Amino acid sequence: MAGKRVRVLVTPTSDLEKHLACMHGLEIGGEMNLTAGIQVAQLALKHRQNKKQQQRIIVFVGSPVKYDKKELELIGRKLKKNSVALDFVNFGEEDDEKTEKLEALLAAVNNNDSSLIVDVSPGPSALSDVLMSQLPACGMGFVTTDMSDASADDHDLQLSEKLSLQLSVQEDAADQSNQTNMNKLLADQSFVSSVLASDGEKAPKEDEKK
């Protein structure tokens, strides 16, 4: 989302190794282009494997936001119109102006509390540790793994990836559960017979009216 241009490093996937592999060797630098990053992410979501899955963009914001509120609100309304949820992890130096702009964008995109901001204050704790403690309170489940051997940067990177994947897995599981319930109904011969019998009873009545 920074540097010379916004790039899509990997298309939507549940393969964590692909995410980590494409991010290996990335250098931190340049100026954050928030609006372009969100727009490119929205385009990337069109290539998601499960088209029924809720679209969600998670943005880690550690730099000042240079855009004005009106421009951000316009982006937010567009995302809301297209049913795209937007979450922010606001970290780095405390900046009241940045927080106000993110809150304005959140208000524009939020639909039934589907989007949120997690504020991480500067301190000695790693970003990953703060998020791990706050996410359950925000209503997000999280799968924990042993990352004791990872460096601080790798630790934060893996957490951000796991957050995205966890949301994807949860939404996909809900879709699969609905499909499983439908399959069970179709496999229930008594249920199918009752539906067919009900349709058969309605047909003669329609003929009698004619």
Q: Which residues contact 66 (CB under 8 A, 6 or more apart)?
A: 31, 32, 34
CA–CA dist 110, 106 (Å, integer): 6
Token pair listed for 33: 């282009």
Architecture of domain 16-184: 3-Layer(aba) Sandwich (3.40)
Residue 152's pLDDT is 46
pTM, entire model: 0.61
Residue 210's pLDDT is 46
Ranges of the chain whose pLDDT falls below 50: 136-153, 169, 185, 195, 202-210
Residue 94's pLDDT is 82
Rg from Cα positions in the chain: 23
Q: Which long-range contacts (CB under 8 A, 24 or more apart) does 17-26 make?
A: 19/161, 19/164, 19/165, 20/157, 20/158, 20/161, 23/157
Structure-token match 């051997």, residue found: 149
